[in-house]
Homo-oligomer: A and B are copies of this chain.
Amino acid sequence: MSPILTVGSVAFDSIKTPFGEVARVIGGAATYFSVAASFFTDVRLVAVVGDDFTDEHSAVFRGRRIDLSGLQWVPGETFRWKGEYDLDLNTRKTIYTHLNVFQDFQPKIPANFQSTPFVFLANIHPTLQLEVLDQVRSPRFTAVDTMNYWIERTPNEFASVLARVDTVIINDEEARELSGEANLVRAARVIRKMGPKRVVIKRGEHGVLMSFDDRFFAAPALPLEVALDPTGAGDTFAGGFIGYLASAPTVTDDVLIQAVIAGSTMASFSVEDFGLNCLLRLTESEIKARFGEFKRLIHFNAL
């Protein structure tokens, strides 16, 4: 079992969906990722928060396998985001993004984190992602997420990141924009030519498509009766996916496929309640049970 280093945002989110509303709850890509991955292995979190982020807030990380020694507390306000979802939960509008202390964030990887074998660069400015890559020493596995904003505004910087990681984990829209190809088969091929040897495309309620070796693996999402809030589902997927990989002795094709199911399992919990709520009360036995449910959903006995 190997630890994972992750660098990204810890934030206060305000979220409105057709099914309710929450204000100033703890969110951020690195938060969802860390909580999800900590069910599988040790996580080393590097991020920045303001002095409005109290011990009460950091309690979401405590009692979990999350090392907070890379969490920088600086004067000022924590990153804040507010989003509103449409009726089908598939499209959302950002009401505001206040970077606050994140504006001047310089990721500093503590010395004892620099040889972490698994590295996940959550969605932040690609220049910061490059600074992280400059500070780590020959990780065995590196993955990156991003968003359309960076693909559009900092294409060269993001291309430099892509050239230095082995896995990219993005959603279908981002894959299309990044590759300039509407077709996901072609999009995956174009992205792999940019550097990463694996492309994991998150399709929300339609599941995941992974391009690796000479093949694809596709998994549907678990059909859910209750879906209240998709915020953080993609980062939760990444946490389950990489957490599973890091908990395995080696990253084989079978393990990659199992990891897609592990990530999808974690993401299925995440959407069942607002923000982190469902992940925070989750137990290992619930994860095991749902992993089994997932296997049953997609299991195919050949003739």
A:38-93 near B, CB below 8 Å: 88
A104 within 8 A of B: no
List chain B residues, Cβ under 8 A from A254.
301
A:204-251 near B, CB below 8 Å: 206-207, 209, 215-220, 223-225, 227
CA distance A257 to B299 in the complex (A): 9
List chain B residues, Cβ under 8 A from A225.
183, 185-186
| In the complex, residue of chain B having the shortest beta-carbon distance to the beta carbon of A18 | B182
Question: Is there contact, CB below 8 Å, between B186 and A217?
Answer: no
Question: Is there contact, CB below 8 Å, between A215 and B296?
Answer: yes
Question: Is there contact, CB below 8 Å, between B218 and A298?
Answer: yes
| In the complex, residue of chain B having the shortest beta-carbon distance to the beta carbon of A188 | B223
Question: Is there contact, CB below 8 Å, between A300 and B223?
Answer: no
Min CB distance A99 to B, Å, is: 34
| In the complex, residue of chain B having the shortest beta-carbon distance to the beta carbon of A253 | B301
CA distance A209 to B223 in the complex (A): 9
CA distance A300 to B184 in the complex (A): 21
Secondary structure class of chain A's binding surface, majority of residues: mixed
A258 within 8 A of B: yes
List chain B residues, Cβ under 8 A from A88.
182
Min CB distance A53 to B, Å, is: 36
Q: Given contacts A88-B182, A185-B223, are A217 and B295 in contact (CB under 8 A)?
A: no
Taken residue by residue from 262 to 303, chain A's Cβ proximity to chain B (1 for < 8 Å, 0 otherwise) reads as 000000000000000000000000000000000111111111
Question: Is there contact, CB below 8 Å, between A297 and B258?
Answer: no
CA distance A214 to B100 in the complex (A): 50
A261 within 8 A of B: yes
CA distance A224 to B301 in the complex (A): 24
Extra contacts besides A183-B225, A216-B223 (4): CB < 8 Å: A88-B182, A207-B218, A209-B223, A298-B300
